[in-house]
Structure 1
Amino acid sequence: MLGSTRESIASAHSIVVKIGSSALTSLVAGLDTHRLDLLADAIETRMRAGSDVVVVSSGAVGAGLAPLGLTKRPRDLATKQAAASVGQLALAHAWGTSFARYGRTVGQVLLTADDIARRTQHRNAQRTLDRLRALHAVAIVNENDTVATTELRFGDNDRLAALVAHLVGADALILLSDVDGLYDGDPRKGDATLIPEVNSPEDLDGVVAGSGGALGTGGMASKLSAARLAADSGVPVLLAAASDAAQALSGADVGTAFAPRPTRLSARRFWVRHAADTSGDLHLDEGAVRAVVSKRRSLLSAGIVGVSGDFHAGDVVSLMGPGEKPVARGVVAFDATEIEEILGRSTADLPADMQRPVVHADDLVAL
């Protein structure tokens, strides 16, 4: 009998499916269209059963290696971007060709971290993905590696998938790769045990997660981090092998299931906590830390003891407690220069046009 988390995934109307590089490419042969077809078959079956599916597909760099005569994943940024530019074209064409067997149209959506961090681009990406789903097309999402200024600015496509899952309001996130679930150690060493359910952080005590392989950049550590990020936002997660895609997308009776938090973060609060870049810091006294963290109250000027960074009203800032420990993030209502003039002062003593919270509780998320 399926648990409630797996039942939620099996019955989810809106799903994000992330597919790792190792499931689609190899160092020798490049893009494996046969494996891609099998994944498209499983996704199409789920869509015909009534679900909307957004695909986050890795593999652009891996797909570009063989055509360029490269035998290993490059380390320098320029060669990675060159491989991505070749591979992204091949990857999009392969997905389009595969879904064309079913008369299904695909749309390519390339994102950078900046598209998620900035609120305007964030909303634009959301509208594009929503419209593709409304038109019954399959959105194939990937990081825009060809223009990224630092390597994989999302960190990896696992994190991108978790952010996209919240961006589109998905009911479930399925992470497919070359591993069949979360283990309490390295399964390649033969002494690790599969963890079928993660219902709380305590279930992860003693778990050792490794880094990525020859083609990927994430590994189990990034998958675990992405699963926890999505679950924290209220999205149930299934981590499974790409070879088990049909089961994962139908009965969700394979791999490891991550239970979501009981209440889902609003889109704005999720953006503040996980997606937005911070532009500066506000340093708080102990009383202010208790107010914003324990009591979930707005941050007032009286509790601020210092300001760092050059930010403006509407930017996201970090709230730092004693000892320079980040305790929360929030959307600030004043410019940095304005806060420097009012820090430590009671709200009642401020000019009438400044008698408001520095960070309102609705725009504040404790870490």
Structure 2
Amino acid sequence: MMASQEGGRSTLATASRIVVKVGSSSLTSLNGGLSEQALGALVDVLAERRNRGTEVILVSSGAIAAGLAPLGLSRRPKDLATQQSAASVGQGLLMARYTEAFAAHGVTVSQVLLTADDLTRRTQYANAYRALERLLNLGVLPIVNENDTVATHEIRFGDNDRLAALVAHLVKADAMLLLSDVDALYDAPPGQGGQRIAEISEPAELESLSIGSTGAAGLGTGGMATKVQAASIAAGFGTPALITSTAQAAAALAGEHVGTWFSMHGVRRPIRLLWLAHLASTHGTLTLDDGAVRAIRERHKSLLPAGIKAISGDFEAGDAVELLDLQGRAFARGLVNYEASELPQMLGRRTKELAAELGSDYLREVVHVDDLVLL
């Protein structure tokens, strides 16, 4: 096990492209202002690595937290409108500090603000990919954040940890580094005798763990739970990841045995499937007979009308739906090709029969295999 741990971590030392995510708690003081010392220390580490030839994409929280003090707010607001206002004030402050700090090392940075739509709709994620690739080719260090000022509840990532996982997948990063004020994942609270977990090789190893959430400062959005989810998402879709503290950033990038390493256990797949499996809001369910369940789960087939027993929800073509077995268990998600109102007349019927009665437009699958992911 130790050999595999060291070998895995060496990926960070040799990677040519890395996505680094830093949380609000690592950049701000308890009163909500930016900590110049903390930001400067992180920039020193990342700039040194960038100047050695590694392409670095920084996903940085902190915009909302940076906007609290100027607005006279003591804690992160709960309502979306005030969050957006704080982000609007704080994002400029955050970027100004980064621009100045990186410039001292001769590194040019750029601001890239994204919403979930930018990484899940085909045309938009192609544009996001081209933009990031060109910035990296020009020697720029992109600083990415969720576009909190305009994002609605429906199109939010919800936290920058998951945004980092999507960005890492989008740019085909060699590894992802998630930084916060916690140095690793533990099997119990460290104060209660918890031991650091050095490596997670497969998702089943997480099932027995109790994972904490937002820290006492109230500045983050998800704490360790979302970092573990993001690292698991990345590893399951082909990008290994490390969770550790910002203070350990230099050691982590050197491949030292710090933090918790999430070994890659999946292969790269289209980014819309990553979104569909972990981030999409579903708008209904389709209950399938046993034959359809086996065809999808074991033979990786598309879903046809003949295998559907029941539907629920109000969805349009292109929406995400959950696929259920006869016991009501969700086993897959997919992008449906029909509106909910079209499906009742199709249940249990063969595609050719439907096409003869209703027209050739009904030859298409209900959910195509390329738009379907097993849970």
In the alignment, is the contact (CA less than 8 A) between 1:107 and 1:140 conserved in 2?
yes
Note closer, same or farther for the CA distance 1:7–1:61 as it changes in structure 2 (3 Å cut).
same
Give the secondary structure class of the aligned counterpart of 1:208.
coil
- Match of residue 229 from structure 2: 225
Structure 2 residue identity aligned to 1:108: Q
**Aligned pair in 2 of structure 1 residues 89, 151: CA closer, same or farther (>3 Å)?**
farther
1:208 corresponds in structure 2 to: 210
Is the aligned partner of 1:257 residue 2:261? yes
Equivalences, count: 366
Give how far 1:18 is off: 0.3
Unaligned 5+ runs, structure 1: none
- Distance in structure 2 (CA, Å) of the matches to 1:153 and 1:266: 20
Asked if residue 176 in structure 1 is aligned to residue 179 in structure 2, the reply is yes
Which of 276, 280, 287 lines up with 1:283 in the alignment?
287
Q: Where in structure 2 are there 5+ consecutive unaligned residues?
A: none
> Does residue 1:272 correspond to 2:283, yes or no?
no
* Corresponding position of 2:363: 355
- Equivalent residues of 1:13, 1:50 under 8 A apart: yes
Q: 2:149 aligns with which of 131, 143, 146?
A: 146
Give the drift of 1:232.
1.1
SS in structure 2 at match of 1:363: strand
1:307 match:
311
Greater CA drift, 146-155 or 252-261: 146-155
The Cα of 1:29 is off from its aligned counterpart by 6.5
Tell me, in whole angstroms, the C-alpha distance in 2 between the residues paired with 1:340 and 1:291: 21
The correspondence for 1:100, drawn from 99, 103, 120, is 103
Which whole-Å CA distance do the structure 2 matches of 1:170 and 1:360 have between them? Answer: 28
Alpha-carbon distance between aligned partners in 1 of 2:351 and 2:211, rounded to the nearest angstrom: 48
CA contact (8 A) 1:27 1:66 kept: no
C-alpha change, 1:236 and 1:329, in structure 2 (3 Å) is: same
Deviation of the 1:230 alpha carbon: 1.1
Change (3 A) 1:152 1:20: farther
Map 1:1-367 to 2 at 5 A: 3-28=6-31, 30-150=33-153, 153-187=156-190, 189-213=191-215, 214=217, 215-351=219-355, 353=360, 354-367=362-375
Match for 2:240: what amino acid?
P
Deviation at 1:268, TM superposition (A): 4.2
Determine helix, strand or coil for the equivalent of 2:19.
strand
SS at match of 2:139: coil
The Cα offsets for residues 189-221 of structure 1, whole Å up to 9 and x where unpaired, read as: 241110011112343243111111121121111
Cα deviations by residue, 1:30-76 (Å, 9 ceiling, x for unpaired): 10122212211211222233321111101112111222333333333
Query: Given the two structures, how large is their TM-score scaled by the length of structure 2?
Result: 0.89
Question: CA distance change for structure 1 residues 300 and 79 in 2, over 3 Å: closer, same or farther?
Answer: closer
Q: CA deviation at 1:252?
A: 4.5
**1:360 Cα deviation from its structure 2 partner:** 2.5
Deviation per CA, 1:70-128, whole angstroms, max 9, x where unpaired?
33333333332222221111001111111111332211112223333433333322222
Percent identity reads: 54
Query: Could you say what secondary structure the match of 2:157 adopts?
Result: coil
User: Which amino acid counterpart does residue 22 of structure 2 have in structure 1?
Assistant: I
Counterpart-to-counterpart distance in 1, 2:248 and 2:188:
21
SS in 2 for 1:30: coil
2:338, 2:78 → 1: CA distance?
42
Question: Taking structure 1 as reference, are residues 308 and 117 closer, same or farther at Cα in structure 2, changes over 3 Å only?
Answer: farther
Output the amino acid matched with 1:247.
A
CA shift in 2, pair 1:52/1:275, >3 Å: farther
SS in structure 1 at match of 2:168? helix
Could you tell me how far apart the structure 1 residues matched to 2:185 and 2:161 are?
Answer: 14
- After TM superposition, the score normalised by the length of structure 1 is 0.91
RMSD: 2.3
Contact 2:6 2:257 in 1 (8 A): no
- The 2-side partners of 1:152 and 1:212 are apart by 22
Describe the shift of the 1:72–1:317 C-alpha distance in structure 2 as closer, same or farther (beyond 3 A).
closer
Cα gap change, 1:136/1:277 in structure 2, threshold over 3 Å: closer, same or farther? farther
| Residue identity opposite 1:50 in structure 2 | G
Change (3 A) 1:44 1:91: same
Q: 2 CA distance for matches of 1:19 and 1:103?
A: 21
How far off is 1:170 after superposition?
1.4
How far off is 1:159 after superposition? 1.4
Give the aligned residue type for 1:365: V
